[in-house]
Amino acid sequence: MVAVRRATAPLLLAGALLLTGCSGDVPAAPAPPPSPSSSFSSSSAPVTTPTSASSSPSPSAPPVAAKVVVLDPGHNGGNAAHPAEINRLVPSGRGQTKPCNTTGTATNAGYPEHAFTFDVARRIGEALAAKGIRVVYTRQNDTGVGPCVDRRAAIGNEANADAVVSIHADGSTAAGANGFHVAYSSPPLNAAQGAPSLRLAQTLRDTMRSGGFSVSNYIGGGGLSARSDLGGLNLSTRPAALVECGNMRNPAEAARMTSAEGRQSYASAIAAAIEAYLAG
C-alpha cells in the first residue's frame, strides 16, 4: 500500500513503496537462514502469461488484443525476513533514493497486504489474458523478496507496456479512514506520465467507482492522488498508475479484502478499467 505514510505461483498463467509503499507497514521480523526460493534474483524476473490458442489474436479480435499490460502486486511475502535487502537504498526518481521495498501493511486480524495484492493481480491477469492481452507480472510468487521499486519500474519499461498498474492496499489508522484512491506521477517527468497516465488513473477511478467502490475520504481528491514521491511511478516511461484498493484497517474493507469474493470484485473492476483504457 502506499498512501498516508508516503511514509510492492510458481510461474503464473497468464513496498516504504513499490511504486511506493503503504502506510502502517509491518515491522520486519528477524531474518532466518537464506534460502534459494527467497533470493532477490529469483523474485525479480518478470513472468508473462503463456499464450493459448483460445486467447490468440484473430482478425475479429477486439482492439485490446495484442496489447501488453504489466501488473505489479505490491510488496512480497519474503520481505519481512530480509530487512537488509529491502532497506537498501535505490533510485526513486527526481534525484531521490528510497528503500528497495517494504513489508506492506495488514488487516487488524493479520491478513497481509502482499497476499492480497498477489491474489488480486493474478485474478486481473487471468481476466485480461482471456481477452488476448499479454500480461507480465513484476513478481512470480508470494514467497520471494522484492523486487526493488526501480526494478519493478524497469520491468514495465522493458516490456514496452501499454499500461502498468500497481496493486496495493493502505493501512491508515486515522479514524473512519476508508475508500480507494489511484495515484499517478505529478508533475510528469516524461510524455507517458502526462496525459496517458492521467487517463489511465481516471479510467481506473471511474470504473471502480461505478462498480460500487467508494473513493477515499482521507487522501487525495475524488479518488485521485497526484504524487511526486512514488519511485515506481517516477521511473516509469510507460503509462502507469497505482491503485490503493482500500484501507485494510477499516473493518468493512478488511472483510472484503479477506474474502475470495471480495478480492474477485476488486479484480473484476480493475480488469474492466484496464480493458476500457486500452480500447480508448
Active-site residue set: 244
Give the torsion through C-alpha atoms of 4, 6, 9, 13, to 10 deg.
Answer: 90
Nearest by Cα to 4 from 122, 221, 174, 191: 174
Task: Count the neighbouring beta carbons within 10 Å of the beta carbon of residue 222.
Answer: 11
What is the DSSP track for 194-219?
THHHHHHHHHHHHHHHHTTPPBPSSS
Residues 195, 239: Cα–Cα separation, whole Å: 9
CA dihedral over 162, 13, 47, 125, signed as positive or negative: positive
φ/ψ (deg, to 5) at 134: -80, 125
Task: For cell 493459448, name the residue.
Answer: 52
Asked if 70 and 15 count as a contact pair (C-beta separation under 8 A), the reply is: no
> What end-to-end distance do the CA atoms of the chain give, in Å?
28
Q: CA 69, 217, 106: angle at the middle one, nearest 5?
A: 65
**Residue 19 in contact with residue 98, Cβ under 8 Å?**
no
Cell, residue 277? 483504457
